[in-house]
A = this chain, B = another copy of it.
Amino acid sequence: MMTTRSNPAVIPAASDDKSLEKPFIKCLVRLIRAEDTYGRWRGKCDVELLDNFTVPEDQRRAIPIIGDPDPYVLWRLKTFYTAVGLGKERSDLLVSRTMEISQEGFGRVLLTTKRLVLLSKTLRDVHRFGFNNLRKCAKTGTQLVSDAVQVIEAYPDLARS
């Protein structure tokens, strides 16, 4: 499911190692490794695996938004929002992710638990999904998790009903 880029620019990004300690990034790495059925990425470090989520802005801008979104991008998008959902599961709640993306790369992602919508986000130009760097990825994910935790705290009965 993952592109194997032998990008030598990856290793300097390891200076981002403060981001690697973030609970959200750890969760994301755990999710990616969970899909490694045949152990092909066992030799790869976390930074290499997360490299899929960081695409420099100029490279992103060069991706055409015409045609079907790349299946790899859809996989990344799903993994990212599943990680956001998992981030909230530190409580006793089960969070499910539902994502509908049209062939043109527009759509919506919902995170729900019981009768409560924790996150509802319109997605567009998903062809170009990615973050400038790992720090940005960690920040966005952590923010989404904390937003959703606030929603749970605002409607505790509903999240458990």
Contacts and interface: CB of A to CB of B under 8 A. Distances in A.
Interface string A80-106: 000000000000000010111000000
A134 to B, nearest CB: 28
A116 B112 CA distance: 9
Contact of A115 (B96, B100, B108, B151): B151
A117 B96 CA distance: 12
Contacts of A96: 108
A132 interface: no
A149 interface: no
Contacts of A155: 115, 158
A100 B110 CA distance: 10
A99 B114 CA distance: 17
Nearest to A100: B98
Contacts of A98: 98-100, 108, 110
Interface of A: 96, 98-100, 108, 110, 112, 114-117, 120, 151, 155, 158
19 contacts: A96-B108, A98-B98, A98-B99, A98-B108, A98-B110, A99-B100, A100-B100, A110-B110, A112-B117, A112-B120, A114-B117, A115-B116, A115-B117, A115-B151, A115-B155, A116-B116, A116-B117, A117-B117, A155-B158
